[in-house]
Amino acid sequence: MTSTQLHRHAAHDWWRGATLYQIYPRSFMDANGDGVGDIAGIIQRLDYLATLGVDAIWVSPIFTSPMQDFGYDVSDYRDIDPLFGTLEDFSRLVARAHELGLGVIIDQVLSHSSDQHAWFRESRQSRDNAKADWYVWADPRPDGGAPNNWLAAFGGPAWTFDSRRCQYYLHNFLASQPDLNFHHPEVRQAQLDNLRFWLELGVDGFRFDTANFYFHDQALTDNPPSSDDYRSRGHPRSYQLLKHNADQPENLDYLEEIRALLEEYPGATSVGEVGGSDPLPAMAAYTAGQHRLHMAYTFDLLNSTGDAVDLHAVLARFAEHGEDAWPCWALSNHDVPRSASRWGSARALLALTVLCSLRGSLCLYQGEELGFEEAELSYAELQDPFGIALWPEVKGRDGCRTPMVWAPQRNGGFCADSLSPWLPVHAPHQSQAVSLQQEAPESLLNRVRKLLELRRENATLKTGQQTLISPSVLPKGVFGVIRHTPHQQMVCLANLEHEAGHAPEHDNAPVMLDLPALMGSRMPHGQHHDPIEVVSLPGMATPSLEAGQLSLAPGMAAWLVVPADTSQEQDR
């Protein structure tokens, strides 16, 4: 067994209930002095992540790329872009991470490549070359227009005309990101071979970008329009349901091929990004059983603002479709405004406490543990093609991608102060620098460390079942779940109403919660059971519990350890 295999083999299901930490490498740490983060910079900061208490890192794309979409346009699936380092650097990263007990998950962008990839360069030359059918090509309509009405994520048609073939090619994202034709068996096998390459280098798994976009309807049927409540101003693709260019039945078969490959490498895992018009049922289907993806996530919680009813609705809809499915919940990533801005900075710890109470695996995004809010950038500072194309209605993703701040200095310790980083350091983040928070016992960083430790050491929270508490039996603004195993159950509650100092005085009063009413038949009866324990949560005032009545102030959370119930499990 090599050193690169140690983490994988430690526990076959290490990923279940694990906490992942997403690294956006351009913005994490610059070690070579060019103003862009790199693999050597990640290695320098691995000790920090090990002490944070996460189980694995997810590294966003580092493959060779022209960087039209910052690595999500791959021109070589088996090499590292010189901007980030070399394959030797990557091997050092894997080895050091494993020494620290951290798994390494890397992005895989299978659905589309860069238009600079050798495959596409060959494919576009003619209609009869060896790669002619490796991408999705279609003839124009009789009037010369695009083959159908499909729209691209970044605006405009999902089709671009190529004069060499006198055909259109499909691109669900940028025109420089042509979609591969997964109906072609050679394409499917080529991507499996690329996955095997990285597994042989010791990675512990993959995060699959746009995992539900591998296949398309070969009849190229027009997508139907969406309803008014689904449409998002400034985002044209939301005006149609992605019925024919995503979530095709063949996708499930290919996920099974991927899983079969991963099973050859004990402990290797997978997490899929599932977008589209109705992603929660797809997320459940993609992770159901033991033969598809291990985990998946949608944008439902990534877009949440901390409303208790909305949170319940997302979790309930997922549970409807996947009793044995396994989610990977996240509140922030490189594609959405930061959760501290959406939930409110005063609720940053509360948001993560709610996240840690949920069934599934978790993913933190760099800076989330520090309380970073979304950065404000001017149009001139933008790098993201999404924001540049759709400004000002959509400001793009640069606001969540600004550099990590390690020290309270001009460039935040991300790179030398004499340099100009690829995106400017957000000045308000300097007061939240890692070095400052590490020295403050009650900082958000240290509270998050304690929170992750509480979850990691409690099997009920990591892998227990989950029963949602209906909003109909909870006071307004309170969210709750019951986590349970045969040996223990925990009631996890959060008062998401306005915190003190940010709402009218009458809204700041604690609410009273009747624990027997909330738990119903799960509440133990009789005199012969252990007392209910109120867990001391970092940064939270310990609520009072008397005669089954719990007092919970706005902006506070409570975890209660309740003796195990042996009655039949049921939802409330």
- Both 286 and 354 in a single domain? yes
Following DSSP, what letter does each residue of 55-69 receive, concatenated? SEEEEPP-EE---TT
Residue of higher predicted confidence among 234 and 364:
364
Which tokens in the block code for residue 304?
Answer: 């949440």
- Both 408 and 555 in a single domain? no
Report if residue 177 sits inside a domain.
Answer: no
- Both 266 and 408 in a single domain? yes
**Dist CA 198 CA 396 (whole Å):** 31
- Which domain covers residue 532, as residue numbers? 460-562
Using the 3D structure, point to which of 427, 454, 481 is the last residue of a domain. Answer: 454
Following DSSP, what letter does each residue of 435-478 receive, concatenated? HHHHT-TTSHHHHHHHHHHHHHT-HHHHH-EEEEPPGGGS-TTE
What CATH number is attached to the domain comprising 515?
2.60.40.1180
206-210, 361-365, 406-410, 515-519: which range is least confident on average?
A: 515-519
Report if residue 569 sits inside a domain.
Answer: no
Query: Out of 143, 229, 264, 323, which one is annotated catalytic?
Result: 264
Query: Out of 209, 300, 497, 499, which one is annotated catalytic?
Result: 209
Report if residue 153 sits inside a domain.
Answer: no
The 10s digit of each residue's pLDDT in 252-302 is: 999 999 999 999 999 999 999 999 888 999 999 999 999 999 999 999 999
Using the 3D structure, point to which of 398, 421, 454 is the last residue of a domain. Answer: 454
Q: How far is CA 80 from CA 206, 283, 482, in A?
A: 16, 30, 44
What CATH number is attached to the domain comprising 22?
3.20.20.80
Q: Where are the beta strands (DSSP E) in 469-546?
A: 478-484, 489-495, 511-514, 533-534, 545-546
Strand order in the sheet with 478-484: 465-468, 478-484, 489-495, 557-562, 533-534
- Both 252 and 357 in a single domain? yes
Using the 3D structure, point to which of 435, 454, 473 is the last residue of a domain. Answer: 454
- Both 416 and 442 in a single domain? yes
The 10s digit of each residue's pLDDT in 315-341 is: 999 999 978 899 999 999 999 999 999
CB 219 within 8 A of CB 188: no
Residue with tokens 């227009």: 145
pTM of the shown model? 0.95
How many other CB atoms are there within 10 angstroms of residue 509's CB atom? 12
4: Cβ–Cβ under 8 A, 6 or more apart, which residues?
91, 94, 95, 98, 201, 202
The 10s digit of each residue's pLDDT in 354-385 is: 999 999 999 999 999 999 999 999 999 999 99
List, in sequence order, the alpha helices (H) in 236-296.
250-263, 279-287
Mean pLDDT of the chain: 94
How many other CB atoms are there within 10 angstroms of residue 13's CB atom? 12
- Is 264 one of the catalytic residues? yes
The 10s digit of each residue's pLDDT in 66-78 is: 999 999 999 999 9
Residue among 493, 492, 491, 484 nearest 564 (CA): 484
Give the chain's domain count. Answer: 2
Residue 42 phi, psi (nearest 5): -60, -45
